[in-house]
Amino acid sequence: MADIKQDGFKRVWFITGASRGIGALIAEAALADGNAVVATGRNAAAIVERLGESAALLPLALDVTDEAQARKAVQAAVETFGRVDVLVNNAGFGLLGAVEESADKDVRRMYDTNVFGLLNVTRAVLPAMRAKRSGHVINISSVGGYRAAAGFGVYSSTKFAVEGITEAMHAELKPLGIHATVVEPGYFRTDFLDASSLLVAPDVIGDYDETSGAVRRKAVEMNHNQPGDPQKLAAAMVTLVDAPNPPLRLALGTDTLAAIAAKNAYVTQETEAWKALSASTDFAA
């Protein structure tokens, strides 16, 4: 357990997308654990409505696609609580459709939030963490960040980006005393698959009916019936931050564990099958 700092707060958390879903639940879990929380979202009033008011909570307006707003929010966080110990880059949404069905404007909108937004907030927070030579950056990826599948190809590509960014940050920040972890939830019961969050590609191409089309139908069935309990995910974040040696990757949910095992087995088998060609391209010694 971390030392309780002079202000009485165990740590100061900065969470994006805290108006609902996983972000709001992580905020609640962190508050219940004796932390101060800077809960940010596109609509600050929605955060107050969801999380209430307390001295430990600073609700702030932050659309992660707005870099200037990200800097202002971090400045307000440091002015209020003196530090940011934990950054949770949680804000994000999905785009459901085959790669070819996904329109340029939707793809760009999703990258603006899931990738460029995460980078905006990360660049705003890291100077304060580097100055203290401590901190923990938690980037919410997905099972889709480890393996892509039909119907969620472009969404998965944003989370592959998050995985690559986090893996490099893990190497760059470790010598500076800062942890970086990428979290890979499976299907968790939030608004993620709901029309209030999920963007469904409007252009349907019949040839993809058995692949992307099947996933479109499954998503309707699964909406608000997902196996993952987001409250337990939130509790896991508190456990993660308390760990003396936090992992680079944290898979969450038995569906993610199964997907990772299947992908690892596939990669091992395919790499072995093509090893001779793979090993044939170096200059002769």
Does residue 187 carry a catalytic annotation? Answer: no
- Cβ–Cβ contacts within 10 Å for residue 237, how many? 27
Does residue 105 carry a catalytic annotation? Answer: no
Q: Is 149 exposed, middle or buried (0-12, 13-18, 19+ CB in 10 A)?
A: middle
Q: Does 136 bind ligand NDP (CB under 6 A)?
A: no
The 3-state DSSP class for residue 217 equals helix
The 3-state DSSP class for residue 237 equals helix
Q: Where in 139-178 is the site for ligand NDP (CB under 6 A)?
A: 140, 142
CB of 59 to ligand NDP, least distance (A): 12
Q: Which residue is nearest to ligand NDP (CB)?
A: 21
Does residue 141 carry a catalytic annotation? Answer: yes
The 3-state DSSP class for residue 117 equals helix
Could you tell me which of 159, 30, 175 has the C-alpha nearest to residue 93? 159
Q: Where in 68-127 is the site for ligand NDP (CB under 6 A)?
A: 90-93, 113, 117
C-beta of residue 227 within 8 angstroms of C-beta of residue 254: yes
CB of 67 to ligand NDP, least distance (A): 12
Binding mask 215-234 for ligand NDP (x = CB under 6 A): -----------x--------
Query: Rounded CA gap, 159 and 114, in Å?
Result: 7
Under DSSP, the state recorded for 146 is T
Q: Does 20 bind ligand NDP (CB under 6 A)?
A: yes
Query: Rounded CA gap, 151 and 161, in Å?
Result: 18
* Of the residues 12, 187, 199, 238, which one makes contact with ligand NDP according to CB under 6 A: 187
Catalytic one among 10, 102, 157, 159? 159
Q: Which residues are catalytic?
A: 141, 155, 159
Interface residues toward ligand NDP, by CB under 6 A: 16-17, 19-23, 41-43, 63-65, 90-93, 113, 117, 140, 142, 185, 187-188, 190-192, 197, 226
